[in-house]
Amino acid sequence: MLMTKEILTVMIQIFDTTKAEAFAERMLGILNSGAIALMTSIGHRTQLFDTLAKMPLANSQQIADAAELHERYVGECLNAMTIIST
């Protein structure tokens, strides 16, 4: 069924940009919260946070070495938590 020009015009007029933006903002918040939860779980399960708690200021390679983890994934996890939570 094809839409007539009048129906399409009414649909465009009904579309509420403010509600759409609020919905998009809420969805982004939900996705960010889920990503933080996932990264927190990974950090906990790999004992990354325990390792960090015992270390002085360090870069991702030093943290990975101390935690016996691959530097790429340590960096990805920490970067994601830093970027998402801002």
The 3-class secondary structure across 42-74, one letter per residue, is HHHHCCHHHHHHCCCCCCHHHHHHHHCCCHHHH
Please indicate, yes or no, if residue 60 is contained in any of the structural domains. yes
Please indicate, yes or no, if residue 22 is contained in any of the structural domains. no
What is the model's pLDDT at position 85? 64
- Segment 62-84 mean pLDDT: 92
Please indicate, yes or no, if residue 86 is contained in any of the structural domains. yes
Structural domain span for residue 64 = 47-86
Q: Quote the pTM value.
A: 0.69
Please indicate, yes or no, if residue 79 is contained in any of the structural domains. yes
Please indicate, yes or no, if residue 16 is contained in any of the structural domains. no
Please indicate, yes or no, if residue 69 is contained in any of the structural domains. yes
What is the model's pLDDT at position 11? 66
Q: Does position 10 have pLDDT exceeding 80, yes or no?
A: no
Query: How many domains does the chain fold into?
Result: 1
